[in-house]
Amino acid sequence: MRSKAIPRALWALCLAGLAAGEAQAGDLAAFFVVGNGIPEYLSGQPGDPERGREIAIRRNKGNCLACHKMPIPDAQYHGEVAPDLAGVGSRMPEAELRLRIVNPKIVNPDTMMPSFYRISGLHRVAKQFRGKTILTPQEVEDVVAYLKTLRDDTD
């Protein structure tokens, strides 16, 4: 129903972190891409929407607000370079939300959006971030859990 960029039959096993061996991040957790989504929890357990909201706001974490307008009225400054995330939980199934955070380039290679759980295929990453993902698996799940609450079809 959404992007047809990835054939539904394609199963991609992503073991991107094998080469890096950076202490803090270590190897990436393996995940399966099914169609346009990642159906399973990255961390093996569901996220906490409250924490996800905080991560979305924090500049040194998700910083989703840098680019996206979001239904967070207490944060005054919202970006204008990416789609409004109000109602995104109604528009996109959980698996797709997860893939969009992990690596949105899988569905849209030209997107400006960073891949929040990826360490390979990047150019000149600053030393202190090399081999590290922007978010941890649990933080990805927290953001997914938060985005799932952004529904516009409930009232």
Among 5, 12, 19, 125, interactor with other proteins by CB under 8 A? 125
The single residue among 70, 88, 101, 139 that binds other proteins, judged by CB under 8 A, is: 139
129 in contact with other proteins (CB under 8 A): yes
| Closest to other proteins by CB, 34 or 57 | 57
Q: What is the phi-psi region of residue 136: left when phi exceeds 0, alpha when psi lies from -120 to 50, beta otherwise?
A: beta
Under rule CB under 8 A, residue 80 binds other proteins: yes
Site membership for other proteins, residue 12 (CB under 8 A):
no
Residues 6+ apart with CB under 8 A from 47: 41, 138, 140, 141, 142, 143, 144, 145, 146
Burial environment of residue 154 by CB neighbours within 10 A (0 to 12, 13 to 18, 19 or more) = exposed
Spatial distance between the Cα atoms of 102 and 143, rounded to a whole number of angstroms: 11
3-state DSSP assignment of residue 97: helix
Residues 22-61 as x/- pattern, contact with other proteins by CB under 8 A? --x--------------------------x------xxxx
Beta carbon nearer to other proteins, 91 or 132: 132
C-alpha 22/C-alpha 119 separation (Å) is 10
Residues that bind other proteins (CB under 8 A): 24, 51, 58-61, 63, 65-67, 75-81, 105, 112, 114-115, 122-127, 129, 132, 134, 136, 138-139
